[in-house]
Chains A and B, each alone.
Chain A
Amino acid sequence: MRDWLRIALTVGFGLTLAVITAGSQTRTFRAPRTPDGKPNFNGIWQALNEAYWDVEAHAAAPSPVLELGAAHAVAGGLSIIDGGTIPYKPQALAKKQENFANRLKLDPEIKCYLPGVPRANYMPYPFQIIQGPKHVMMVYTFAGAVRTIYMDDHKEAPADSWMGWSNGHWEGETLVVDTTGFNDQTWFDRAGNFHSEALHVVERFTAASPDHLLYEASIEDPNVFTRPWKISMPLYRRLDKNVQIMEFRCVEFVEELIYGNLRKKSSQ
């Protein structure tokens, strides 16, 4: 009897150790649950990197607007891409460079246009996840952009749009979001990295601690890239007291830029 007990205890202890070890090796974090038993991603999140300037590695650089001096200078940053660079087709690379050269005229962010995916997730503003069993909403500060992620009523994108059409499902601890139905108007950053309407993005959101998510996205667009490529970064929970998504109705800020040339000449 005593031997049996010893063996049982030893095996039990060994198993416990094995689970702990395996757990720490794969860094699996079990997120708190929503009432329907899913990992609870409700909260206000924000990326903390320089990818909004350029998703590829880049050195600091002067602001493209002389008057803004150092206040709007490009912050240097490392690549968020697996392998470092975007696998452009040759012609597409030429277009990217043209975009960069003309970014003050062409960057949709400057015109307060909806930012698209994945760009919305690493702009320098917070976004909020509102999570329900049927819909997961991602509500962004910039331009008041919003995505509905359909968790059970999956369908093909009914039409092209700026933020795409997102179908989601859970894989254990991970929210997987499959998005298609994009137009070809959005960019990946302020450096002119772009895509066509054939863009297909699969994102994976995985809780890595109570206060950060691992964000990964695979990006596919046979018109523009030679192969699919992947980005990843942490998203951090905003813990500031009373933090909230503030109104950023930027249309008002860009009207003079967009329509100023149509002002009546005698008008002030």
Chain B
Amino acid sequence: MSHRCLVAVSALVIAVASWRTMPVAGQTRSAGAGTTGTGAKAYTAPRTPDGQPDLQGFWSNTTFTPLERPKDVTKEFYTREELLEIVKKASAQEAEQTEPGTVADVHYDFTQFGLDKSQSAMAVNLRTSLIVDPPDGRLPPLSAEGQRRAADRVAARKARGGPHDAVQNEPLGARCILMDRNGPPMLGGAYNNTYQIMQTRDYVMILVEMLHDVRIIPLDGRPQLPANVRQWTGSSRGRWEGQTLVIETTNLTDKFAFLGSSENMRLTERFTRVAADTLRYQFTVEDPATWTRAWSAEVPWKTDTGPIFEHACHEGNYGLFNTLAGARAEEKRAAEEAAKKKSPR
């Protein structure tokens, strides 16, 4: 694929571990549910001057852990040694240099530009999947409505023509509209999984590096937007529950369709600082129009260094232009060749 830097790599292929700096203390998995299995002890976050748990700073949710547990894995946690092997292998794979000038390297090499996951801040996660509920670590089955909607989507996609027939047929990420890192829920992608959190008395702000996207979440208990107002990232309202920031999101669209979700998806995100350098990000998805039951996932975020530079994706979207222009050029060439065959001169 010629625009690989813009294509959000599937969040299903991922997750967590800093293999170079993996702490020796992280081996026991006594901490049980709601942890990354690294045996983190109870931790109390420092407070902001307004008395809120302080989540501020730069964070990374880069991970090698897949959203769903691989089919051949039956346990909830890897051992430290197993994780180390997995991360080593994944790191070596992504560092493989493609041959300059070949099709695979037509864009640029991630390693060369420091975009590999193993070159990024990454929290240790012994979990075998990001999904923690259902307990098998896999997405619940689609509901009857979910199956019908999935079939409708496939039919609609077919009716729209080929993937490069028109800009609207291209993936949202390639169009710089929305990426997996923006969410909500916010999941790590191939690179640039950097976030900045700032808190004031009345708002939490989350700056997502990708698409210079800012989520501003009011904490004053105001109601969600009116039901007829639908936004790509919905309507989000936040509150504190003890150590935890809870954000509820509704008013989504069916255009974003997170893993096929419906516009009535209800998302609850929970942010808890569980160590000076780790934030626990949990989310629960409720959407009977898609899945037979609610499901939850958990991703540790690791402190990262700033600053976050401007990601002007749309403004420099040569990849999208070239993809469409290339498809038209291919068609023209094919038509000319066909004409030549018909009437050879």
Contacts and interface: CB of A to CB of B under 8 A. Distances in A.
B344 interface: no
A246 B211 CA distance: 16
A171 interface: no
A256 interface: yes
B161 A264 contact: yes
Contacts of B315: 113-114, 162, 185
B310 interface: yes
Contacts of B178: 249
B30 interface: no
Contacts of A42: 200-203
B310 A161 contact: yes
A130 B328 contact: no
B50 A35 contact: yes
Contacts of B309: 158-159, 161
A78 interface: no
A136 to B, nearest CB: 9
B176 A251 contact: yes
A262 B232 contact: no
B13 interface: no
Contacts of B196: 135
Interface string B172-215: 00011110000000000000000010111111010100011110
Interface string A100-125: 00000000000011100000000000
Contacts of B160: 267
Interface in A156-178: 158-159, 161-163
B276 to A, nearest CB: 17
B307 A150 contact: yes
Nearest to A245: B216
B49 A264 contact: no
Interface string A227-268: 000000000000000101111010110011011101110111
Nearest to A246: B231
Interface residues of A, number: 45
Interface residues of B, number: 50
A144 B211 contact: yes
Nearest to A160: B310
A249 B177 contact: yes
A137 B161 contact: no
Contacts of B307: 148, 150, 153
Contacts of A159: 309
B168 A132 contact: no
Contacts of B167: 255-256, 258-260, 262-263
Contacts of B49: 35-36
B264 interface: no
Contacts of B310: 114, 161-163
Contact of B321 (A144, A249, A259): A259
Contact of A130 (B166, B200, B321): B200
B228 to A, nearest CB: 13
A131 interface: yes
Contacts of B314: 112-113, 143, 251
Interface of A: 35-36, 42, 112-114, 128, 130-132, 135, 137, 139, 143-146, 148, 150, 153, 158-159, 161-163, 185, 242, 244-247, 249, 251-252, 255-256, 258-260, 262-264, 266-268
In the A-B complex, the 4 residue pairs with the smallest Cβ-Cβ separation, listed nearest first, are A35-B49, A262-B324, A259-B167, A264-B165
Interface of B: 48-50, 56, 160-162, 164-168, 175-178, 196, 198-203, 205, 207, 211-214, 216, 218, 222-223, 231-233, 307-310, 312, 314-315, 320-321, 324-325, 327-328, 331
